[in-house]
Amino acid sequence: MTDILKPDVRPANPRFSSGPCTKRPGWTPEFLNDNLLGRSHRAKPAKARIQYAIDLTRELLNVPDDYRIGIVPASDTGAVEMALWSMLGERGVDMLAWESFGAGWVTDVVKQLKLDDVRVLDADYGKLPDLGQVDWTRDVVFTWNGTTSGVRVPNADWIDADREGLSICDATSAAFAQELDFAKLDVTTFSWQKVLGGEGAHGVIILSPRAVERLENYAPDRPLPKIFRLTKGGKLIEGIFEAATINTPSLMVIEDAIDAMEWAKTLGDNGLQKRADANFNLLNAWVEATDWVANLAEVPETRSNTSVCLKIVDPEITALDADTQAKFAKAIATRLDQEGVAFDIGAYRDAPAGLRIWAGSTVETADLEALTHWLDFAFAAEKAAL
């Protein structure tokens, strides 16, 4: 152990959590506008700021003018559940799952909604299901980027432009950092806490005209809690998409999201995506040059540029039993946490043993470069301690 030297350079910001993610570079609480704190969210100035957050979202994501954007309760989870409970059941549904959250949506549809006609197309961690098996006469629910597996769909080419069903996309760790083809997406959800480094508890839902048509022409035979209701009297509740939120939002969180999006605008066209791509390329180059670690995502085109999931492939470690391998990976994450150089980089609790490093747009590439040296140090130190 005495021969294993610690790196000289430390990440300036050790926050590599995959949610909530680190704030934008240079962020301080002073950037928040406190003039509206303590005001009603129904007041004209507050509604104007909520609408501004919606407008910035449309601008940065290039959302078509005829798509609705709403801020809803309960983070991305609430936004997805709102779509599932309000829209599914009109026809059969294909559920795609290749990681924890996709599997969770399967559980909700099968065991809670108890729909009769459900097909599950799943795959192990590190892989995608066969996208060619999707039936677009049916509704389709999928995650664009599997946050807990680091596996994403490579593009939207597999989505039928002339689909009969709806495409319902959980895009929470993809939005802003990956190219979303809204012509292929009918429901898109995400939260600010991922790529923008915003706070939790608020979700965003984006509806295509086809999704609105479904809402206004199909009434599911089940009770809907207030926070799931998008229609009244068979018509879309337009206020939800015009800054009149379902329940009370945090005006502080709204200001924080606005701050992040205004920063994003200063980066130029596709600036957030370019930063995430640069971060992933740095990490991937290190992985390719390092013999003890590999990407969990097997196919290069499906590797996430935000939630980078890694597995330990050193032969001496993989020869150990599964519990010991898991403890070894956790020990690496714990050591780096205690050193103050990397917080929250352990694999998700349901995922295979390994590491998960957020490489999204608010992370600085220099911090990831410094982290790679500490990863090598921690691996060597833990292996020597076996």
Task: Read off the pLDDT of residues 161-190 as tens digits, 9 standing for 90 and up.
Answer: 999 999 999 999 999 999 999 999 999 999
Distance CA 38, CA 251 (A): 8
Topology of domain 271-384, CATH: Aspartate Aminotransferase, domain 1 (3.90.1150)
Nearest to 41 by CA among 189, 246, 261: 246
pLDDT value of position 1: 46
Domains 29-265 and 271-384 share a fold: no
pLDDT at residue 95 greater than cutoff 80? yes
Q: Which range is least confidently modeled, 32-41, 185-194, 269-278, 311-320?
A: 32-41
pLDDT at residue 374 greater than cutoff 70? yes
The 3 state secondary structure assigned to the chain is CCCCCCCCCCCCCCECCCCCCCCCCCCCHHHCCHHHCCCCCCCHHHHHHHHHHHHHHHHHHCCCCCCEEEEEECHHHHHHHHHHHHHCCCCCEEEEECCHHHHHHHHHHHHHCCCCCEEEEECCCCCCCCHHHCCCCCEEEEECEECCCCEECCCCCCCCCCCCCCEEEECCCCCCCCCCCHHHCCEEEEECCCCCCCCCCEEEEEECHHHHHHHHHCCCCCCCCHHHCCEECCEECHHHHCCCCCCCCCHHHHHHHHHHHHHHHCCCCCHHHHHHHHHHHHHHHHHHCCCCEEECCCCHHHECCCEEEEEECCHHHHCCCHHHHHHHHHHHHHHHHHHCCCECCECCCCCCCCEEEECCCCCCHHHHHHHHHHHHHHHHHHHHCC
C-beta separation of 119 from 93 below 8 A: yes
pLDDT value of position 191: 98
Number of Cβ atoms within 10 Å of the Cβ of 7: 16
pLDDT at residue 144 greater than cutoff 70? yes
Q: How would residue 2 be classed by pLDDT, with cut points 50, 70 and 90?
A: low
Topology of domain 29-265, CATH: Aspartate Aminotransferase; domain 2 (3.40.640)
Strand order in the sheet with 167-170: 68-73, 202-207, 187-191, 167-170, 139-143, 93-97, 118-122
pLDDT value of position 3: 78
The predicted model scores a pTM of 0.97
For 377, residues 6+ apart whose C-beta sits below 8 A from its C-beta are: 4, 5, 6, 7
Task: Give residue limits of the domains in the chain.
Answer: 29-265, 271-384
pLDDT value of position 34: 80
On the question of a cis peptide bond just before residue 20, with omega within 30 degrees of 0, the verdict is yes
Arithmetic mean of pLDDT, 103-131: 97
Chain centroid to Cα 332, Å, comes to 24
Q: How would residue 31 be classed by pLDDT, with cut points 50, 70 and 90?
A: confident
Nearest to 136 by CA among 106, 112, 156, 116: 156
